[in-house]
Structure 1
């Protein structure tokens, strides 16, 4: 049975504050050594101060936070367009009624 061993005493992946958990749905590439790396996704871990079977407060990875930015930006742009159309229609109604007054 082939085995592979790798160690790294300075790895800074999957970090969270003590008592908190680390969660990442996006795929992350973790370089352990020059000869060994691992791709992980949909991970939720906590190393210390686990209370019973409950994870602590979640600290999400940067990749997940960035992936939420796009839907928020698109939603904001659509809301802005709806607002512009609404204001334009209200202004158009006022102008069209102004010509019929005697």
Structure 2
């Protein structure tokens, strides 16, 4: 028995977009499929990219996780993917780090301003004794 994996895309002509609608997998004689999916809806000339993983519930109580994938169904120019739309799981991971760095820098600026004001007040008292 041959191992097989196939994906079917559907085009939404109203929105000029496409999405993953059907997945079929056969591995070591275990076959599973998933119908009526709407995964990765993007514009026609764009691609869909997800590193964190897309969970696909399949038949026979099988869940398939597609990690580090990028796909584009239609209008591939010169064998290169179009502009990638990132999945939600990847966006959440990338936002936390810049927010943490921004908060740390903001806190550091506030500490420097307070230290400057305290130091300035102490300097005035030293020169008044003349």
TM-score bracket for this pair, using the shorter chain length: 0.7 to 0.9
The count of residues paired between Structure 1 and Structure 2 equals: 102
Residues 23 and 34 of structure 1: CA distance in aligned 2, closer, same or farther (over 3 Å)? same
- The residue that corresponds to 2:36 in the other structure is 10
**TM-score, normalization: structure 1?**
0.86
How far off is 1:8 after superposition?
4.0
Asked if the contact 2:32–2:60 (Cα under 8 Å) also holds between the matched residues in 1, the reply is no
Instruction: Describe the superposition over 1:7-56 as per-residue Cα deviations: whole angstroms up to 9, x where unpaired.
Output: 44421113322110001111221113463321111111111110011111
2:71 aligns with 45
Aligned equivalent of 1:75:
101
2:64 aligned counterpart, secondary structure: strand
TM score, norm. by length of structure 2? 0.69
Structure number with higher helix proportion: 1
Between the two structures, name the one with larger relative contact order (CA 8 Å, sep ≥ 6).
1
In structure 1, the partner of 2:45 is: 19
Greater share of strand: 2
C-alpha separation in 2, matches of 1:36 and 1:64: 24
Q: Superposition RMSD on alpha carbons, in Å?
A: 1.7
Mark the runs of 5 or more structure 1 residues left unpaired by the alignment.
none
